[in-house]
Amino acid sequence: MNLESIIFDFQSNYNNEQLATLFMKLKNILKTTGALHILLGLLIIFLLIFSVETIAGKASTETLLLVRGTADVVAASNLGIGCLLIICSSIRDKASLRKFYQVN
**Residue 67 phi, psi (nearest 5):** -65, -45
Residue 70 pLDDT grade (very low, low, confident, very high; cuts 50, 70, 90): confident
30, 76 Cβ separation under 8 angstroms: no
Dist CA 42 CA 78 (whole Å): 9
Dist CA 79 CA 68 (whole Å): 16
- Chain segment 3-33, per-residue pLDDT in tens: 445 444 555 555 556 555 655 677 888 899 9
Residue 79 pLDDT grade (very low, low, confident, very high; cuts 50, 70, 90): very high
Please compute the mean of the pLDDT values over residues 57-68 and round it to a whole number: 79
Decide: helix, strand or coil at residue 91: coil
Torsion of Cα atoms, 40 then 41 then 44 then 46, to 10°: -110
pTM tops 0.85 = no
pLDDT of residue 19: 58
- Closest among 102, 104, 75, 94 to 27, alpha carbons compared: 94
Provide the mean pLDDT of the chain.
Answer: 76
